[in-house]
Structure 1
Amino acid sequence: MEPQNVNKGDRNKIYFLIIVIAALIGTNGYLFFKDRQQGERLVTVSTEKDKLRLEVEKIEVELDKVNALNLDLNDKLVDEQKLARQKIAELKLALEKGEITQAELDKAQTQIEELKTFIKNYNDQIIQLQKENIFLKTARDSLENSVKSANDKANNLASENSNLNAKVKVAAALKAQNAEIIAFRTKSSGKKIEVTKSSTAEKLSVRFTVTPNELAEKGHHNIFLRVFDPAGNLLANENNRFEADGQEMQFTHSVFINYNNDSSTYTIDWANPKPFIKGIYTVILYTDGTTMGKAQLELR
C-alpha cells in the first residue's frame, strides 16, 4: 500500500505554525528576562534611594550637633548652614518622588558628596571656633582676675591711704595746752576787770597756747567754740554749724588765728547774750575737724 502524498499547501502551513510557535517562545523569553531585569533595576534604585536618604539624614544630624553647642556663630557660618539646610530639604524632596531616574540618582549622589565635603569643612571651622572661644574665655577670665586683683589692690591702697590720711590729719591737728577761762567786765574807761561772780560777769575770755607741731599747716585756722552753761545747755545759734570728729555740730562762736608753730598764746573773747548764772561753764575748742582742748570756769 503506497503512502499518501502530503500536498505542498499543507506542508507550508506546518512550517508557518512552527515559525509562529518559535517566535512566541522567543518573545515570551525576552519579556521574561526583561521583566526580571526591570525588577532588579527597581530594587537597585529603591536601595540607592534609601541609602541616599540615610546619608542626607546623617548630614542633617551633624548640623543639629553644631546648633546643640550653642556657639555664637559668625554671619558667614550662619549663611553656610542655611544654604546646607536648603540643599538638604531639596534632596529630601527629590528622594521622596515615586519614580526617579538613574540620572537623578547620580545627581543626588554628587550633591550629597558635595554636602559631605562641606560638612567636613564646616565642622573644622566649628572646632576652630570652639578653640578660639576657649582661648578667649581663658583670656577673659585671666583679665577679669587681673582686674579684680588690681581693684582689690586699689581698694586696699585707698583704704590704707584713707587710714594714713586720717592718721596724718590727727597727727597734724592743732592741740591747745594750758587752756583757761576767765570772766570779766569792762569799766567805763575801757579797762577789763576779772570777776568771779555771775552777776557781774559780762564776757568769757578763753586763753590757750597751741602745742608746737611740725606737721601742722602754718597760717590761718578757724577755731570753733562750744560753750555749755551750768545746766549743760549749749549756748549756740541754730544756724551756726560745722563738722568735727566725724559729725555735724552747732558752735557758739568762731574766730581765725594765725598759727606759726611758735608756741604763741591766743585769746578769744565771747559775750553771753543772756545773763550769766551761777555754776560751772564749759568751753570746748575745735579746729580742722578735730577737738583742740577744753576748759572750765565756775562763777559764784
Structure 2
Amino acid sequence: MEPQKINKGDRNKIYFLVIVIAALIGTNAYLFFKDRQQSERFVTVSTEKDKLRLEVEKIEVELDKVNALNLDLNDKLVEEQKLAREKIAELKVALEKGQITQGELDKANAQIDELKTFVKNYNDQIIQLQKDNTFLKNSRDSLENAIKNMGTRATNLETENTALNAKVKTAAALKVKDADIIAFRTKSSGKKVEVTKSSTAEKLSVRFNIIPNELAEKGHHNIYLRVFDPAGNLLAEDSNRFEADGQDMQYSHSIFIDYNNDETTYTIDWTNPKPFIKGIYTVILYTDGSTMGKAQIDLR
C-alpha cells in the first residue's frame, strides 16, 4: 500500500502544536522554579525573624536578671537600661510585621549586635558593682565588729575600773579601831559626871580611834551617828538623812572631824531627845558612804 502523503498545511499545524507545547512546558517550569525560590525566600526570612526574636528575648532575660539582683543601681545604669528596653520594644514591633525586607532584617541584626555589646558591658558594670558592694559590706561588717569589740572592751574596762574603784574606796575607807560609850549628866556647876543608870543619864559620849590608813583621804570627814534604843528604835529626826552602803538613811547626829592618819581620839556627844530607858543602846558610825564601826552601852 502506498504511504499517505502529508500536505504542507498539516505539517505547519504540527509544528505550531509542538511550539505551543514547548512554550507551555517552559512557562510551567519557569513558574515552578519561581514559586520554589519565593517559597525558599519566605522560609529564609521567617527563620531569620524567629532567630532575631530569640536573640531579643535573650537580651531581655539578661536585663531581667540584673533587676532580680535588687542592686541599688546608680542613675547612669538605670538610664542605660531604660534606653535598651526602649530599643528592644522597637525591635519587637518591627519583627512582628507581616512582611519585612532584607534591608530591615540587616538593620535589625545590626541593632541586636549593638544590644549584645551593650548587655555585655552592662553586665560587666553590674559584676563590678556587686564586687564593690561586697567589699563595702565586708568593710562595714569589719567596722561594726571592730566598734562592737571596742564597745565590749570599753564596757569591760569600765566594769574593771568600777570594781577597782570600789576596791580602792574600800581600802581607803575609815574604820573604827576601838570605841566605847559613856553616859553622863551635867551638874549645876557645869561639871560632867559619868553615870550608869538610865534615870540619871542625859547624854551619851562616843569616843573612838581610827585604824591608820595611808590610802584614806586626809582632812575633813563628816561622821554620822545612828543611835538605837534598847527596843531597836532609831532615835532620829526624819529630816536628818544621808547615804551609806547604797541606802538612804536617817541619822541621829553628825559632826566633822579632821583626819590626819594619827592616833587621835575623837569624841562625839549626843543628847537624847527622849528620856533614857533601861537596856542596851547601840551607836553605829558612818562616813564617806560606808560603815565605820559601832559601840554599845548598857544602862541600868
Relative to the length of structure 2, the TM-score reads 0.89
SS in 1 for 2:216: coil
Q: Partners of 1:18 and 1:3 in 2: how far apart?
A: 16
Q: How far does the alpha carbon of each residue in 1:15-73 deviate from its partner, in whole angstroms, 9 at most, with x for none?
A: 99888777666555444333322222211111011101111111122122222333332
Q: Partners of 1:222 and 1:49 in 2: how far apart?
A: 102
The offset of 1:273, in angstroms, is 1.1
Q: Partners of 2:284 and 2:159 in 1: how far apart?
A: 31
The offset of 1:293, in angstroms, is 0.8
Greater CA drift, 84-93 or 47-56: 84-93
Give the equivalent residue in structure 2 for 1:244. Answer: 244
Q: Partners of 1:83 and 1:215 in 2: how far apart?
A: 80
Match of 2:141, as an amino acid?
D
Give the equivalent residue in structure 2 for 1:181. Answer: 181
Match of 1:117, as an amino acid?
T
The offset of 1:223, in angstroms, is 1.0
Within 5 Å, give how 1:288-299 maps onto structure 2. 288-299=288-299
Q: Partners of 1:228 and 1:28 in 2: how far apart?
A: 138
Query: Which consecutive unaligned segments of at least 5 residues does structure 1 have?
Result: none
- The answer to whether structure 1 residue 266 and structure 2 residue 284 are counterparts is no
The offset of 1:101, in angstroms, is 2.1
Relative to the length of structure 1, the TM-score reads 0.89
The offset of 1:102, in angstroms, is 1.9
Q: How far does the alpha carbon of each residue in 1:134-173 deviate from its partner, in whole angstroms, 9 at most, with x for none?
A: 2222222222222222222212211111111000000111
The offset of 1:177, in angstroms, is 1.8
Give the equivalent residue in structure 2 for 1:85. Answer: 85
Residues 1:3 and 1:40: Cα distance change in structure 2 (over 3 Å): closer
Q: Partners of 1:3 and 1:204 in 2: how far apart?
A: 179
Within 5 Å, give how 1:69-218 maps onto structure 2. 69-218=69-218
Residues 1:197 and 1:4: Cα distance change in structure 2 (over 3 Å): closer
Give the equivalent residue in structure 2 for 1:275. Answer: 275
Match of 1:186, as an amino acid?
T
Q: How far does the alpha carbon of each residue in 1:162-216 deviate from its partner, in whole angstroms, 9 at most, with x for none?
A: 1110000001111112211111122223222221111111111111112221111
Give the equivalent residue in structure 1 for 2:219. Answer: 219
The offset of 1:261, in angstroms, is 1.7
Q: Partners of 1:88 and 1:134 in 2: how far apart?
A: 31
Q: Percent identity?
A: 80
Match of 2:118, as an amino acid?
F
Residues 1:103 and 1:153: Cα distance change in structure 2 (over 3 Å): same
Root mean square deviation, CA, Å: 2.6
- The answer to whether structure 1 residue 59 and structure 2 residue 59 are counterparts is yes
Number of matched pairs: 297
